[in-house]
Amino acid sequence: MTGRSRALTAIRAGLDEYVKAPRTGVFTEKVGAGVSHELVKALAAFAANSESAVQIELESIGGATRTLKEFDFKPPEAGVLTTTSNALVQDPEPRVVTLIGEVTLLSRDNDHEERVIRLDVVRGGAVRRARVRLTAEQYEAAPQAHREERPVSATGSLEKEGRLFWLYGARGVAVLDEKANMGRDMRIRSVDVPLEFEDDV
């Protein structure tokens, strides 16, 4: 099954699920299958005025046989698709990025091993701030990075939850040597508020 076929299958299934449970979450949960704002928006316009169908030709391994798969969409579903496309814009699809920024919040939950830092991002993503959930071991160097005003680098899946951006599955967490790694034209931005410590996330 091709990527586009998987995405269309997921959207068609989402429309069927929406009838029983009318919430856009049935689509946003399928982002991993290729459901995107652009595709859903295009389907909404495609189905707006009449019953429509998208056909995809699937080729077997080796190209011995070909089958035609059809996905049907009806005008009443166009409104659902439009609402879904808007929701996908408001909550961008997760993407793997490497963020570099200054630590401006340290948060720890004494009942769990996980810790959270907030980065004021200077490189790696079109976001100003992101929270990063770390293991206790990864977290150890964060206070020192703040004290020495050295940037922290972390790679993970950038996702938006409500009004906050989170970097999940953090790996490659490192405190950088600013002079060696940031370049002469890159400076860590100063902040107007003091560093915050939180005991609970």
For the chain, give every domain's residue range: 3-90, 95-198
CA distances from 134 to 42, 88, 169 (A): 39, 27, 8
The confidence score (pLDDT) of residue 86 equals: 84
Q: How many other C-beta atoms are found inside a 10 Å radius of the C-beta of residue 33?
A: 16
Cα angle, residue 16 at apex, residues 14 and 17 outer, rounded to 5°:
65
Q: Report the pLDDT averaged over residues 34-52.
A: 89
The confidence score (pLDDT) of residue 91 equals: 60
pTM for the whole thing? 0.47
Considering the segment(s) 95-198 as one domain, its CATH architecture is Beta Barrel (2.40)
Cα angle, residue 184 at apex, residues 96 and 173 outer, rounded to 5°:
30
Q: Is the pLDDT of residue 174 over 80?
A: yes
Residue 189 carries which side chain, given as an amino acid letter?
A: R
Tally: H helices and E strands in the chain: 7, 8
